[in-house]
Structure 1
Amino acid sequence: MRQDTLLVELGTEELPPKSLKTLAVSFAQNMQNELAAAELSYTELTWFAAPRHLAIQVKELAYQQADKIVEKRGPAVTAAFDAEGNPTKAAQGWARGNGIDIADAERLKTDKGEWLLHKAAVTGKALDELIEGIVNRALAKLPIPKPMRWGSSDTQFIRPVHTFTAMFGADILPATILDMPSDRIIRGHRFHGPSTFTLDHADNYEAQAKAHFVVVNYADRCAEIAKGLEAKADELGLTADYNQALLEEIASLVEYPVVMQASFEERFLAVPKEALIYTMKDDQKYVPLLDAEGNLSAKFLFVSNIQSSAPEFVIEGNEKVIRPRLADAEFFFETDKKTALEDRLDSLNSILFQKQLGTLAEKVQRIAKIAAFIAEQIGSNATDAARAGLLSKTDLMTEMVMEFPDVQGVMGKYYALNDGENSAVAEAIAEQYMPRQAGDALPSSDTSAAVALADKLDTLAGIFGIGMLPKGDKDPFALRRAAIGVLRIITERNYNLDIRELLAFAVNTYGDKLTNTEALDNAVDFVIARFKAMYQDQGIETEVIQAVSARNITNPLDFSKRVHAVSEFKGLAQAGALASANKRVANILAKNSASVSEAKLDASLLSDAAEIVLAEKIALQQDVVAQALANKDYNAILTSLADLQGPVDDFFDNVMVMADEDATRNNRLALLSQLRELFLSTADISVLATK
């Protein structure tokens, strides 16, 4: 059977840069699924993506499906023939549909009966017949939120399509996709050389495209850009300030990347670097350069889409583009400094936080109260925390933040320092939104942490207070992110704070605005439930988290300590047996709850050697656990309790818990109740038992 390389490529207008990689990966996955469904074997599938190119290449693809035998079951023999042995209409219809005579039908015998059977030989279809359906289905499943039409056609795609190529080796496959018949014409670079070229073989797609100044390999383009940025930065003794997201967005904008260096006037460096970096990265896709101390340089890097014979003109053009943006930032900064943050408080009355919960002016008053309360709990400066909370949203009313929203908080810090606020207050304003996303840094001080917690807790209390619980993927107030932020700040900064107490205080600051009488319980449950996602990301097993959750712990730091202790305990040799024993104990106690509630251990009623030993061991462990519990040393508790495995096993092997005598039975239930309480001091270990 023939095998060769398949190439499928769409030549389009510029594809959205932030969607390019997602489109390409999805196209590849869809094609992979379609080829699998078509039962066409291959060795490797690769995707390519450039601003005007979306392609997949499949190595050693089978040209034709394998022939196969398909079994087509007919009616049961009892229904296929009448009493005289003549075929019924059902049997005749089935035979006719399969193109055979009844006499040619085979029989399928099973334990449940006998059926007519036809084994049909199906000849595999060739790629020529299959390719159009495969590609159409793969494209139809792409994540395109707003497809567009072009020309007079009703055809829709994310951008207008100009070429379509489906090649198998050196051959064009007969297919029409998005009104474009397959051809070997591929689009080259807009400015370097011919606008199109003729592809001679599917294997040569990448090489021929590169020869025409189009680097279709997305990963290679990213690597080439990164290498160029690092080389230029090293040459200047500076550091290129970019992340993977910016690198990929730049790579999605250029077909033939050329890294170049430009500069702007030194006077702009008087503007806070965050605002300058924001406009350089987000608006222009430029790469800022930083010195060894992290200060912004007046030099910057950009990636051109052409290899110019006169690079000075390209550089000059980009310098002209950035200058007005920096001048705007400079103007906004100087203008904003003329009005103190405190003087902007009244303007917050014009901005709604949420229509049922009031304005931002009301929100900052609440944040100030909550931040002061938290600061007192963690031994920080309550006055500074309250002040930072009060001013926390005032920079939203500045020209700079209105123009560059991503610098909110950060600009508040600069304006606060300009107003004469102390550094702790200024830093807390800057760090109030931390952590902004998974893996982000936490507030660097107690005052900052108090304000960051207060902001998140106020939002959680308010939104739950009006019954707007997140549903499915819908979370317009980012409550999940806020909850995880709260947990991270408390656990990673080692604060002994209780979520219920904090949220109760936050709920009370709303007065009579809240309508959901279960707001506090809803919010607490929601926050604590976020632990599951947090710890699963750290590789901790679900049952470990469930074992701790069963204890209804609302102190995140305490919860965290228990989780890590149980996780370590689970790795001990004794853990499985003790978990199973705990499960057995829990079931026994649950079935005899009435007796357990009244039972008290009486040492004089202990008669069996195994129960006497277990009682002695439990008594010793009670003292150990009590001391360790006072220090919240859950690792010590569980390590110590692991020593109970032998006595527990002996007890269940040799002692009948449900004895006939009431006194003996109740005494043994009391003993098991003590055992259960020892383990519950850390978590419900029975949850760890293998199901």
Structure 2
Amino acid sequence: MSSDTATLLFELGMEELPPGALDDLSDRLATAVAGGLERAGVEYTTCRALGAPRRLAVQIEAVARRQPDRDFERRGPALAVAYDDSGAPTRAAEGFARSCGVNVNQLETLETDEGAWLAHRGTESGRDTRELLPGIIEHALSHLPIPKRMRWGDQTSEFVRPVHWVVLMLDEAVVPVTVFGVDSGRESRGHRFHHPAPVVLAHAHDYTAAMRDAHVLVDRTDRRDHILEGVRAEGERIGGHAVIDPALLNEVNALVEWPVVLSGSFDEAFLRVPPEALISSMEGHQRYFPVRDADGHLLPRFITVANIDSRDPARVVAGNERVIRPRLADAAFFWDQDRARTLESRLPALEQVVFQKQLGSLADKSARVADLAARYAERFETDPEQARRAGRLAKADLVTEMVDEFPELQGVMGRYYATEDGEAPAVAIALDEIYQPRFAADAIAASPLGRLLAVAERADTLTGIFAIGKAPTGAKDPFALRRAAVGLLRSLIEGEHPIDLTALLEDAAAHQPAELNAGAQVQPLVEFCLERLRGLYHEAGYGAELFEAVRSVHAPDALEPLDFDRRLRACHDFARLPAAGSLAGANKRIRNILRKADRTPPAHIDTDRLVEPAEQALNTAMAARAPAVEALIAQGGYSEALAKLAELREPIDRFFDGVMVMSDDAAIQMNRLALLQRLQQLFLAIADVSALPESS
């Protein structure tokens, strides 16, 4: 490494961090320190965000030891006031010179368009990076996003956890700084049990290796990969494969410094409990990784990651097996207790659970969803009575013991309990699928009844919350309405249900309490859904011009998401055709010509007034394709219809090359406008292709 650069190491040692805070704080600290160097003009090559439960660390390579020298220019008084009539410097000139630390005769002249001025030019020497670091570190720490800070001892400073040691080094040299009452040095700390003695760092570059020797893996990515590989290997060793939830993996990674993978077992009798409940207990309570066999069935095994390499791992495993048994016993107890009553018998309890004060109880909400689902059942090709039944039972599992203990199992347990009660399979499945999609990458409900309930549930929530004036504002969305709208739209589009969203929301609004006048919020809600639709297409990589091409032609009081989607995808296909750019430009030209016309063109084209060969050819080509285009549009075959219209490129180009639309003959002029109007109408029946780029 060049003598002009050095490795920078900053480590902040403390009590164990909250596992959910480690990754974010580690990344933010590295970004803040690197940003401080950049603002100071100090160059570097790579920056690594490191961290473990008891430390946040930043290691930056090839940090310049000094700021670069900086040329400066400082403007003083105008020459007109800098010297008197005899040419002697005035007080203004002398004062400016003193402020610059030079004599007047050392000043220079600056010529600008505004005039001539005295100026002082020079080169400012860069400061040592060592001098800059304390300020950079303090600024970085003070700007970390810590929602809950704490004090310790007699300190007045606050941080996420009590700080016990600080390391700040440039290569082998310690950089003095005091943060949270602790002076920096070269002593870190190793694993609490495997290496309780201080770790003396000889060089900043040795940090990760020295900490590994002290039983601490400080590289979060390496540590996560080590855990992942170990858990997978252990799952295979015990005859199955580990169920690895990425969120759980990240949490475990933030809890251990020296991960050691072990496996244990539990009583096979617990497998009578639904596997989701056992998995929730293992993952949520104990942070264990469950294990499935080759057929996907849960095995009576678990994998845990210890933070210590025990001399007697069997005792560690036995301890974990002792701890998991009462947890699984609780899940079994909840399962047995809940099955003693049917879901239907729990419906009266929903009357005591408030959904929202102005919108009533969960029983009220269930009744609204049931009525709306029954009304739209045939549109989803489902049985109205099953739809009503599923709507009524959809929230019943929320008052069971199992869901009270494991809220993430809502819907899942409803499906199991409905099956136990002998409900129709479609109803039982829908009680689970009503919540799909649960998150951004989740699939929509697989069954038509599940999609119907998912749509009815979200439509009721959206209309109700909008009616009470709680629409999302800015980043605030306490009722997760954006997610609800996206789930509704995706269910209709991906499920291929041709439902008018405006009509659906009007029906949902009609079921809300009459005093709320929910119907008045339907149109703002449609616009809200349109914006969510815009976001969906943006995330999928579709250009904004495609969205606008369709939105500009859809009726303001109606929105059918499936039809909107088909039109947008048709525009996407059309935009890739060789003729697309030319036709987009032609449609812009037609739009502008028709806007500027002082009279409305006639509805019909008079073929006797088509005198130019080019206009006759365009009319013939258009007339030949119009019936097929209109038939395709009626069937929703928008891509095929636009491909058919793309065949008009050549006659359209010839028309604009050889025909003067605004003829001096008024009758011919209006007939040509009628021709262009008919052409425009064919395109606008699908989308406004003039919104598309003119180059394909």
TM range (shorter): over 0.9
Structure 1 residue 115: Cα displacement? 2.9
Gaps of 5+ in 2: none
Alignment partner of 1:200 is 2:202: yes
Q: State the Cα distance separating 1:611 from its structure 2 match.
A: 2.3
Which residue in 1 is equivalent to 2:679? 675
Output the amino acid matched with 1:555: E
Q: How does 1:82-93 map to 2 (within 5 A)?
A: 85=87, 87=89, 90-93=92-95
1:557 matches 2:559: no
Q: Deviations over 1:444-465 (max 9, x none)?
A: 2111111111111111111122
Q: Give the aligned partner of residue 566 of structure 1.
A: 571
Task: State the Cα distance separating 1:92 from its structure 2 match.
Answer: 4.1
Task: Report how far residue 598 of structure 1 moved.
Answer: 5.1
Match of 2:282 in 1: 280
Distance in 1 between residues matched to 2:663 and 2:35, nearest whole Å: 62
Aligned to 2:56: 54
> CA 1:163 to 1:616, structure 2 compared with 1: closer, same or farther past 3 Å?
same
Evaluate the alpha carbon distance shift between residue 673 and residue 196 of structure 1 in structure 2; reply closer, same or farther with a 3 A threshold.
same
Equivalent residues of 2:42, 2:63 under 8 A apart: yes
Partner of residue 31, structure 1: 33
Equivalent residue, structure 2, for 1:509: 511
State the partner residue of 1:234: 236
Q: Is the 8 A contact 1:25 1:47 kept in 2?
A: yes
Q: Aligned ranges for residues 432-581 of structure 1 at < 5 Å?
A: 432-552=434-554, 554-581=559-586
Secondary structure in 2 matching 1:164: strand
**Which whole-Å CA distance do the structure 2 matches of 1:516 and 1:494 have between them?**
27
Q: Confirm or deny: 8 A CA contact 2:601 2:673 kept in the other structure.
A: no
TM-score by length of 1: 0.96
- Per the TM alignment, residue 517 of structure 1 is displaced from its structure 2 partner at its CA by 4.8
1:132 corresponds in structure 2 to 134
Correspondence for 2:11: 9
Corresponding residue for 1:607? 611
Q: How far apart are the structure 2 equivalents of 1:452 and 1:38?
A: 54
Range 99-108 or range 317-326, more displaced: 99-108
Which amino acid letter does the alignment assign opposite residue 680 of structure 1? L
Question: What percent identity do the matched residue pairs reach?
Answer: 44
Shift of 1:236: 1.6
Give the match for residue 416 of structure 2: 414
* Equivalent-residue separation in structure 2 for 1:599 and 1:442 (angstroms): 45
- After superposition, the C-alpha distances for 1:540-585 in whole angstroms (9 at most, x for unaligned) are 1111112112122611111111111111211222222221221222
Give, in whole Å, the separation in 1 of the partners of 2:92 and 2:461. Answer: 67
Contact 1:599 1:669 in 2 (8 A): no
Q: Does 1:649 align with 2:666?
A: no
Give the Å deviation of 1:625. Answer: 1.1
Partner of residue 687, structure 1: 691
User: In the alignment, which residue of structure 2 is the partner of 1:393?
Assistant: 395
Distance 1:189 1:681 in 2: 70
Q: Which moved more, 1:363-372 or 1:466-475?
A: 466-475
Pair 1:597–1:348, CA change in 2 (3 A): farther
SS of aligned partner of 1:474 = coil
Shift of 1:255: 0.1
Q: Which residue of 2 aligns with 1:624?
A: 628
CA distance in 2, matches of 1:518, 1:292: 55
Structure 1 residue aligned with 2:169:
167
Stretch deviating more after TM superposition (332-341 or 251-260) = 332-341
Aligned to 2:19, the other structure's residue is in SS state coil
Q: In the aligned structure 1, how far is the partner of 2:359 from the partner of 2:525?
A: 16
Matched position secondary structure for 1:658: coil
1:378 to partner: Cα distance: 1.8
Stretches of structure 1 lacking an aligned partner (at least 5 in a row): none
- Indicate if the aligned counterparts of 2:76 and 2:118 stay in contact, CA closer than 8 A: yes
Relative to 1, partners in 2 of residues 1:622 and 1:99: Cα closer, same or farther, differing over 3 Å?
same
Partner of 1:215: 217
Matched residue type, 1:685: V
Distance in 1 of aligned mates of 2:114 and 2:618: 57
Q: Which amino acid aligns with 2:545?
A: E
Alpha-carbon shift at residue 219 of structure 1 (Å): 0.6
Q: Name 1:19's counterpart in structure 2.
A: 21
Q: Kindly indicate whether residue 589 of structure 2 is the aligned counterpart of residue 584 of structure 1.
A: yes
TM-score normalised over the length of structure 2: 0.96
Contact 2:467 2:516 (8 Å CA) reproduced: yes
Contact 2:380-2:449 at 8 Å conserved across structures: no
Is 98-107 or 187-196 further displaced after alignment? Answer: 98-107
* CA root-mean-square deviation: 1.9
What corresponds to 1:635 in structure 2? 639
- Which residue identity does 2:58 align to in structure 1? I
1:271 aligns with 2:276: no
Q: Distance in 1 between matches of 2:416 and 2:90?
A: 90
Q: Is the CA contact (8 Å cut-off) linking 1:332 and 1:400 kept in structure 2?
A: yes
Contact 1:467 1:515 in 2 (8 A): no
- Aligned partners of 1:174 and 1:662: how far apart in 2? 89
- The DSSP-based 3-state class of the residue aligned with 1:108 is strand
Change (3 A) 1:83 1:383: farther
The Cα offsets for residues 326-363 of structure 1, whole Å up to 9 and x where unpaired, read as: 12111111111122111111111111111111111110
2:368 is aligned with 1:366:
yes
> How has the CA–CA distance of structure 1 residues 509 and 46 changed in structure 2, closer, same or farther, with 3 Å as cutoff?
same
Q: Is 2:263 the partner of 1:261?
A: yes
In structure 1, what is the Cα distance between the partners aligned to 2:84 and 2:575?
67
User: Could you tell me which amino acid in structure 1 is paired with residue 626 of structure 2?
Assistant: Q
Amino acid at match of 1:587: N
Q: 1:87 to 1:275 in 2, by over 3 A?
A: farther
Matches of 1:240 and 1:80 in 2, distance apart?
82
Instruction: Provide the C-alpha distance between the structure 2 equivalents of 1:616 and 1:133, rounded to a whole number of angstroms.
Output: 78
1:684 Cα shift?
1.0
Greater Cα offset, 380-389 or 581-590 = 581-590
The whole-number CA distance in structure 2 between the counterparts of 1:524 and 1:658 is 41
Query: What residue identity is the alignment partner of 2:637?
Result: D
Query: C-alpha separation between the residues in 2 aligned to 1:301 and 1:124?
Result: 55
Q: Deviations over 1:20-60 (max 9, x none)?
A: 11111111222221111111111211111110111111111
The alignment of Structure 1 onto Structure 2 pairs a total of residues equal to 690
Q: Secondary structure at the match of 1:157?
A: coil
**Structure 2 contact 509–519 (Cα < 8 Å) conserved:** no
Secondary structure of the residue that 2:303 maps to in structure 1?
Answer: strand
Report the secondary structure of 1:350's partner residue.
Answer: coil
Deviations 1:212-239 (A, max 9, x none): 0000010111111011111111112211
Mapped to 2, the partners of 1:86 and 1:630 lie a distance apart of 91
Detail structure 1 runs of 4+ shifted over 6 Å in the superposition: none
| Structure-to-structure mapping, 1:264-343, within 5 angstroms | 264-343=266-345
Paired position in structure 1 for 2:600 = 596
Q: Distance in 2 between the 1:347 and 1:90 partners?
A: 86
1:466 and 1:515 in contact (8 A); partners too: no
> Deviation string for 1:88-107 (max 9, x for gaps)?
55544433322223332222
Taking structure 1 as reference, are residues 581 and 159 closer, same or farther at Cα in structure 2, changes over 3 Å only? same
In structure 1, what is the Cα distance between the partners aligned to 2:93 and 2:388?
86
Query: For the residues of structure 2 that align with 1:579 and 1:676, how far apart are their CA atoms?
Result: 11
Deviations along 1:405-425, one digit per CA (max 9) or x if unpaired, are 111111111111222212111
